[in-house]
Structure 1
Amino acid sequence: MSSSASSGTSTTHSFYKILNQFRAPSKSRHAADVDEGVKKLRRLILVEGIPSTADPTLRPRIWKILLRVHELPVETFLQYVSRGPCEVREKIRNDTFRTLATDRGFKERVREDMLVRLLDAFVWRNYDRQETQQLGFTYVQGMNVLAAPFLYTMPSELEAFFCFAKFIEQSCPLYVQPTLEGVHSGLKLLDRCLKIVDSELFAYLRSKNLSAEIYAFPSVLTLCACTPPLDQVLQLWDFLLAFGVHLNVLCVIAQLLLMRDEVMSSSSPMRLLRTFPPLEALPVIGIAVTLVRDLPPELYEELVKHPYQIQTP
């Protein structure tokens, strides 16, 4: 066995060891033990990454733990599905057919009707809950791409639905408001962060009238899921689910830094920025983690809160 194969096996065993702690019924688990297990999972994801060629049940189990999805009420999901098309079905269908359209592996595993069903069900869920929620939810641009990794990764539509719903409602609710408030906040923060971590690159892009709103909108809106290949997107999402959606802003900056030389030497950098190079999760994560240290604490705090906390002027 090669050293990389044996290290992959030992990493898989390390994940199993932590996951076994979550096998006890949820009522008998102490909150402190759960938190400690999640901390260990995060550390392992950052240091080793989830082995992609190992047990295919590994990533779904880890994502459910990170999202704290413990209940999967089948009847509730079936009830939403049985209602059929929601009021914005046409809007959903306008987007679903082109979701990750160039990825053959995705198209083989996730049919369009699965995406439509999940998004319909999500709209119905929040139609029922609008009286009790501070923020309302319906279908908005980009939601189809945010749903895609869950349908691709999870063994069932049921699990994909509840993971997606929890993720949207708790991790990044402001990203999916009709005004895309969180996305626009993220783009402004991207400019502010870039100015600090690479003032020269920031100034060059500004000299070409390029702000993050212009070149980074798709990457911030979809948490980089718009940049193939999908296996790299999933690795990046392991990191974002473990440490927070806010870090996607730094992951976009990391992609800029990886193509910095080409951008700086181009007289028309927007031509390069219109389509980012294929995603490489590990270098992007490595750079993003180091960028955290370069940011002033108050700016980083703004970054942490922007996906879910409404900004007061």
Structure 2
Amino acid sequence: MPQDVYDQFSTLLNPASKHRSASDISDGLKRIRRLVLTEGIPNDEGRAPLRPRIWKLMLRVERLQADEYLRYVAMGPSSVSTKIKNDTFRTLATDTQFKGKVKEDMLIRLLEAFVWKNHGSERDGLPFTYVQGMNVLSAPFLYTMPTQLEAFACFSTFIEICCPLYVQPTLVGVHRGLKLLDRCLKIVDGELYDHLRSKNLSAELYAFPSVLTLCACTPPLDEVLQLWDFLLAFGVHLNVLCVIAQLLLMKQDLMISPSPMKILRTFPPLEARPVINVCVALVKDIPEDLYRELVQHPFQS
């Protein structure tokens, strides 16, 4: 009898041999990514959670610095504390599941610690502080990880490595992503692109929250986590195509609406699996040079 999906993940995460070559590790990662794409991470159903381990693996978070995190927390409010508190209380405010597990003080603590971690320093010439949207980007990590320490380690790595340009003061990566969204939509569905432009609608006007938060602003949270499984496995740049996938899934309504912005003001509830399937299909339609820009836009100046 074939292994169920949970067991397949467990086998890959807990290989029989502890002494593995670099090629064995690389092959294992490829197989985990393939399972994330084809099957998705299954519900734990009372078993050890898989998602925290898989996210840490994809982010290459291996060591946790508890003393360091506690030192940042002990430093208390930062110079941007007011900005943080202006945002944290409304983070996923309508999601009772999230609110039941992640309290506002946890969000504040993690974000203040991140600010102190990067205070007075730069990484690859980029400064880091708190900016709009970071509260929402931290939420899936605090919800998913067993401890705040693990959430902090994953969030910090994610921000600093995967999408540093998304959290610069000018949100340069986000605005690049929005311009790329328009260019990609024009290629994959010129009809929808022309219709939206005829209503003076560019991605800057309707897709800013979805690009800024990597779709974490669109409930339900369970579906967001499935989408993030995919983005962490294959690259956050694919979020731009995931937003386009959502547009295509509501194309019929958008095309017949005299005011498409009324529909786009609040995206329909997220359905991760259809969005992922459409996104994967779209990749082959994007010209190589444009796709290269897409890959680089969250992190390369």
Counterpart among 57, 61, 67 of residue 49 in structure 2: 57
Matches within 5 A, 1:88-167: 88-127=80-119, 130=121, 133-167=124-158
Gaps of 5+ in 1: 1-5
* Distance in structure 1 (CA, Å) of the matches to 2:259 and 2:166: 30
- 1:18 and 2:9 aligned: no
Moved more, 30-39 or 83-92: 30-39
CA distance in structure 2 between the aligned counterparts of 1:224 and 1:132, rounded to whole angstroms: 26
Do the aligned partners of 2:5 and 2:39 also contact (CA within 8 Å) in 1? Answer: yes
Q: Deviations over 1:190-218 (max 9, x none)?
A: 00000000000000000000000000000
Cα deviations by residue, 1:70-113 (Å, 9 ceiling, x for unpaired)? 00011011111010111100000000000000000000000000
**Distance in 2 (alpha carbons) for counterparts of 1:255 and 1:32:** 37
Q: Provide the C-alpha distance between the structure 2 equivalents of 1:230 and 1:180, rounded to a whole number of angstroms.
A: 24
Counterparts of 1:135 and 1:51, CA distance in 2: 37
Which residue is 2:243 aligned to?
252
Post-superposition offset of 1:52: 2.4
- Deviations along 1:167-192, one digit per CA (max 9) or x if unpaired, are 00000000000000000000000000
- After TM superposition, the structure 1 = structure 2 runs for residues 27-42 of structure 1, keeping only pairs within 5 Å, are 30-42=21-33
Does 1:79 find its partner at 2:65?
no
- Identical-residue share of aligned pairs (%): 66
State the alpha-carbon separation in 1 of the partners of residues 199 and 182 from structure 2. Answer: 14
* CA deviation string 1:91-143 (max 9, x = no partner): 00000000000000000000000000000000011115x15642110000000
Task: Give 3-state SS (helix, strand or coil) of 1:105's partner.
Answer: helix
Give the 3 Å change call, closer, same or farther, for CA 51–133 of structure 1 in structure 2: same
**Equivalent residues of 2:44, 2:50 under 8 A apart:** no
> What is the rounded CA distance, in whole Å, between the counterparts of 1:131 and 1:112 in structure 2?
28
2:216 alignment partner, one of 225, 234, 247? 225
In the alignment, residue 287 of structure 2 is paired with which amino acid?
P
SS, match of residue 294 in structure 1: coil
- Taking structure 1 as reference, are residues 186 and 23 closer, same or farther at Cα in structure 2, changes over 3 Å only? farther
2:122–2:128 CA contact under 8 A, matched in 1 = no
Q: Deviations over 1:229-259 (max 9, x none)?
A: 0000000000000000000000000000000
For structure 2, list consecutive stretches of 5 or more residues without a partner in the other structure: none
Q: Aligned with 2:119: secondary structure?
A: helix
Cα distance change, pair 207–115 in 1 and its aligned pair in 2 (3 A): same
1:197 aligns with 2:188: yes
Aligned to 2:62: 70
Q: CA RMSD in A?
A: 1.6
- Map Cα deviations across residues 251-301 of structure 1 (whole Å, 9 max, x no partner): 000000000000000000000000000000000000000000011111111
Following TM superposition, by how much is the alpha carbon of 1:29 offset from its aligned partner in structure 2, in angstroms? 5.1
Secondary structure in structure 2 of the residue aligned to 1:267: coil
- Structure 1 Cα separation of the partners of residues 123 and 198 of structure 2: 47
Distance 1:288 1:296, change over 3 A: same
Aligned partner of 2:281 in structure 1 is 290
Checking the alignment, whether the CA contact within 8 Å between 1:22 and 1:34 is kept in structure 2 is no
Partner of 2:298, secondary structure, is coil
Aligned to 2:261: 270
